[in-house]
């Protein structure tokens, strides 16, 4: 099993050292994990920090990239022989202007895997309780869909990431605000989205954090996973979005089952930003062991 979305305590909203997550991953029976610290660079949204050895460091500082890379690579060396692959990744917060805001360290670091995420609408985090409504109040449901998916489409054009994260994140707080109709928000946008994903060779992730928040479905929900497969998208990763070691691997089996039932040949694995589909047969052998 894989978990390709993990926040160690470099992320200011996460707890647990890289080492703690590796130990938890082994315990959960995972074979491959990718650390994906938040790379938030929207100065208006004011979350542009990471923690490095207990100190808050500006995201633009080159120091943290070096520290982060060497810590993850050291963990990789240490855990490889114990059957755990540890990958260096990052979760880039995408917003209009992100390309200019990304620090030089982003481009000079040799990542295995990069997630692109849209958390912000008009600099407001729609993933944050109490803040999301601030953004929602400005838009009708239809307008929200247009706004959100246009940011996603523009982000893909930047060609800076491998998979799109949680592409229906607006459901987390949007369901309470807009009602059940929010579940169909993706429909008018899916064709254009998948066309762009195919042309730019961008995949998507199935994010299981929603299952820990009492939601019925991962992000995106099963109908979207299926629709993306129907549209010829082949690259999909799975991630718990763990912000503490005990979250690692949670819901991954459910997500894999959904991906399998939706017709995918397997989840993708990454090395130095090159993806490979890992066939289901490899997961069967894993189960029999």
Positions in 62-91 near Zn ion (CB under 5 A): 91
Query: Which listed residue (3, 40, 168, 241) binds Zn ion by CB under 5 A?
Result: 241
118, HSE (Cβ side, Cα atoms, 13 Å): 24
Positions in 152-191 near Zn ion (CB under 5 A): 165
Chain position whose Cβ is nearest to Zn ion: 117
Smallest gap from residue 225 Cβ to Zn ion (A): 17
Q: Would you say 165 or 197 has its CB closer to Zn ion? A: 165
Q: Would you say 37 or 229 has its CB closer to Zn ion? A: 37
Q: Which of 288, 221, 289 is nearest to 254 (CA)?
A: 221
Smallest gap from residue 241 Cβ to Zn ion (A): 4
Q: Would you say 71 or 117 has its CB closer to Zn ion? A: 117
Smallest gap from residue 165 Cβ to Zn ion (A): 5
Helix (H, G, I), strand (E, B) or coil at 181: helix
Q: Report how far residue 77's alpha carbon sits from residue 32's, in angstroms, rounded to the nearest whole number.
A: 13
What phi, psi does 37 have (nearest 5°)?
-60, 145
Positions in 109-128 near Zn ion (CB under 5 A): 117
Smallest gap from residue 159 Cβ to Zn ion (A): 19
Residue 93 touching Zn ion (CB under 5 A): no
Contacts for 175-181 with beta carbons within 8 Å, 24 or more apart?
177/132, 177/133, 177/136, 178/136, 178/141, 178/144, 181/141
Smallest gap from residue 142 Cβ to Zn ion (A): 24
**Burial class, 83, CB count within 10 angstroms (exposed 0-12 / middle 13-18 / buried 19+):** exposed
State the sign of the Cα–Cα–Cα–Cα dihedral 189, 195, 198, 200. Answer: negative
Binding site for Zn ion (CB under 5 A): 91, 117, 165, 241
């Amino acid at each position: 099993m894989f978990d390709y979305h993990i926040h160690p305590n470099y992320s200011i909203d996460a707890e647990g050292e890289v080492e703690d997550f590796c130990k938890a991953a082994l315990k959960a029976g995972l074979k491959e994990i990718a650390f994906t610290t938040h790379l938030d660079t929207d100065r208006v949204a004011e979350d542009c920090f990471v923690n490095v050895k207990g100190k808050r460091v500006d995201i633009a500082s080159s120091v943290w990239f070096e520290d982060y890379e060497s810590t993850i690579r050291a963990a990789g060396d240490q855990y490889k022989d114990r059957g755990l692959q540890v990958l260096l990744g990052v979760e880039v917060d995408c917003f209009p202007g992100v390309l200019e805001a990304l620090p030089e360290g982003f481009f000079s670091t040799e990542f295995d895997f990069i997630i692109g995420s849209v958390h912000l609408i008009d600099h407001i985090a729609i993933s944050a309780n109490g803040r999301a409504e601030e953004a929602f109040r400005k838009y009708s449901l239809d307008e929200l869909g247009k706004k959100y998916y246009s940011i996603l489409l523009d982000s893909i054009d930047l060609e800076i990431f491998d998979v799109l994260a949680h592409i229906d994140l607006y459901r987390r707080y949007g369901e309470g605000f807009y009602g059940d109709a929010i579940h169909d928000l993706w429909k008018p946008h899916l064709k254009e989205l998948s066309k762009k994903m195919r042309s730019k060779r961008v995949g998507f992730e199935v994010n299981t954090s929603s299952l820990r928040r009492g939601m019925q479905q991962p992000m995106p929900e099963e109908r979207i996973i299926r629709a993306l497969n129907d549209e010829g998208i082949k690259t999909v990763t799975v991630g718990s979005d763990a912000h503490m070691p005990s979250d690692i691997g949670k819901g991954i089996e459910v997500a894999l089952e959904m991906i399998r039932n939706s017709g995918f040949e397997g989840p993708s694995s990454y090395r130095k930003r090159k993806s490979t589909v890992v066939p289901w047969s490899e997961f069967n052998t894993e189960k029999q062991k």
